[in-house]
Amino acid sequence: MEILIPGLALVALMVYVSTRIKRSAAKAFDEEIVETDEFTVTKPEGFIMPAGAKGVAFVAHSKEFGTDKADSIRQVSAELRIHTRSLEEVRDSIVGEASKVVSEQHLVNRSIILETEKTDNGIVLEMEYRLIEKGSRVFEFVVAALSETKEEQQRSIDTFLTSFEVK
C-alpha cells in the first residue's frame, strides 16, 4: 500500500508532462510569422524551423518526406541566405548548380525570380528563388520542392513565396 500512492502520483506526473510535451511539439508546426529587422516571412502550418541551422538566416521544412528513393528528403524546404556578393554573382552560382533553368524574370529594384530544376540520382527538385539586392547585400530566398509531391504542397509553397519581404 505504501508503494501504491507514490506510484499513482508518479503516473499522474508522467501523464501531465507527456501531455505538455505533445502540446508544445504540436505548436511548433503551427503557422507562424517570422519577422526580423531585415525580413519577414510566413512559415505555413505543417512546417518546422529547426534550431541551430548554420549559414542561413531562416530555414524551415515540411514534416513529410518523399517516397521511394526520396524517402530521406523533405517534400518542401525553404532557406534564406544573405550574401555580400553581387546579384549577378549569386544568380550565376545558382544557374551553375542547376540541371535546368525553367524561367528567369528580372524585376525592378534589382531583384530576380528564378525557377530551376536540380536532378540528383533520379530525384528531381523544383526550386524557386527570390533574389533581392538591398544595399550591399543580396537576399537569396529559395523554396525547394520534390517534383513528385509539389502539386499537393503548392499552397504552402505559395505562402512562403508571397509572404517573403525584405525590409
| 8/57 Cα distance (integer angstroms) | 47
Which residues, in sequence order, are CB contacts of 60 under 8 Å at separation 6+?
A: 43, 47, 48, 49, 77, 78, 160
In the structure grid, which three cell numbers stand for residue 91, read together? Answer: 544568380
pLDDT for the residue numbered 115 = 96
| Helix or strand run (H / E) with residue 77 | strand 76-83
Long-range contacts of range 116-125, CB-CB < 8 Å, 24 or more positions apart?
A: 117/147, 118/144, 121/69, 122/69, 123/66, 123/69, 123/70, 123/73, 124/148, 125/73
> How many beta carbons lie within 10 A of that of residue 161, not counting itself?
17
pLDDT for the residue numbered 104 = 94
**Residues 142 and 78: beta-carbon distance below 8 Å:** yes
Q: Tell me: do 52 and 106 sit in the same domain.
A: yes
Mean pLDDT of 38-63: 91
How much of the chain is in helix, strand and coil states, percent to nearest 5? 30, 40, 25
Number of domains forming the structure of the chain: 2
Boundaries of domain holding 39 = 31-166
Q: What CA–CA distances, in Å, run from 85 to 4, 82, 99, 124, 139?
A: 67, 9, 23, 28, 10
Q: Tell me: do 73 and 155 sit in the same domain.
A: yes
Q: Tell me: do 64 and 104 sit in the same domain.
A: yes
More confident residue, 46 or 8: 46
Mean pLDDT of 11-31: 67
Using one digit for the tens of pLDDT, what is the confidence trace for 88-122? 999 999 999 999 999 999 998 889 999 999 998 88
pLDDT for the residue numbered 28 = 62
Q: Tell me: do 21 and 66 sit in the same domain.
A: no
Q: Tell me: do 67 and 140 sit in the same domain.
A: yes
Task: Assign 55 a pLDDT band (cuts: 50, 70, 90).
Answer: confident
4 pLDDT higher than 90: no
Q: Tell me: do 48 and 16 sit in the same domain.
A: no
Q: What is the CATH number of the domain that holds 89?
A: 3.40.1000.10
pLDDT for the residue numbered 68 = 86
Using one digit for the tens of pLDDT, what is the confidence trace for 120-132? 888 999 999 999 9
Q: Tell me: do 84 and 156 sit in the same domain.
A: yes
User: pTM, whole model, 2 decimals?
Assistant: 0.82
In the structure grid, which three cell numbers stand for residue 90, read together? Answer: 549569386
Q: Tell me: do 160 and 102 sit in the same domain.
A: yes
Q: Tell me: do 19 and 83 sit in the same domain.
A: no
Q: Tell me: do 24 and 49 sit in the same domain.
A: no
Q: Tell me: do 154 and 94 sit in the same domain.
A: yes
Q: Tell me: do 17 and 62 sit in the same domain.
A: no
